[in-house]
Amino acid sequence: MEHYTMNLTLKVWRQKNATSQGSFETYQVRNISSEMSFLEMFDVLNEELIHEGKEPIAFDHDCREGICGMCSMYINGRPHGPWEANTTCQLHMRAFKDGDTIVVEPWRANAFPVIKDLTVDRSAFDRIIQAGGYISVNTGSPVDANAIPVEKEKADMAFAAAACIGCGACVAACKNSSALLFVSAKVSHLALLPQGAPERRTRALNMVAQMDKEGFGSCTNTGACEAVCPKEISITNIARLNSEFTLAGLLSSNK
């Protein structure tokens, strides 16, 4: 693959904290390698800002391997940038051309308040998981992997749902800031496995209730969430969540 360098204009959202008024600031970056990752490019920019005695741009990152979901940036109108099934840390600068202007923003959702610059508070996802995204297991020695038989089809669907990294791209892309793709992936993962049976009647009810409490919007099935998901989580999980939620509601009303 041909290697080249480029000069770029960055328009980056800067915001001191959740209560302050933010705005875009323009930066010029030069001699950026096409083989750099997007975050490496930001590292270069921040080094320059620090050298000039200016405040570096705050952004989230951790593994830089497309696993943790921390690298949440809204790049040119798309969560995680132009490549499909890709996280920001795995986006490389060859996705852009010399002379391009790149607009970078944080996730935009009331439930994800800005902490600083491109960093947002996604602890709402943690509270949704705490509301029901767990299973009851006995402590002690680990159970043999083959002790509980699971149908291959269900195991595959559960694995696909479990691939969700909780980055929040689905929320950022949704016109209603809905978290239903995230919640449905977490509910589906456990609903499809026998280990998830003990909490099955309450899981969907509690997680959806917490989702609403956090201020996420409703789903109108536009499919934007699925289109930008870096792990290609299917919206069929939303249908499964609706089924789980309805069944749980009927069972609880019959008690």
> pLDDT tens for residues 177-211?
999 999 999 999 999 999 899 898 899 999 999 99
CB 50 within 8 A of CB 38: no
Q: What is the distance between the alpha carbons of residues 117 and 127, in angstroms, rounded to a whole number?
A: 23
Complete domains list, the chain, with CATH: 5-115 (3.10.20.30), 123-253 (1.10.1060.10)
> pLDDT tens for residues 87-128?
999 999 999 999 999 999 999 999 999 999 999 999 999 999
* 214: three-class secondary structure by DSSP: helix
- Residue 1: what pLDDT? 64
Tokens encoding 131: 């509301």
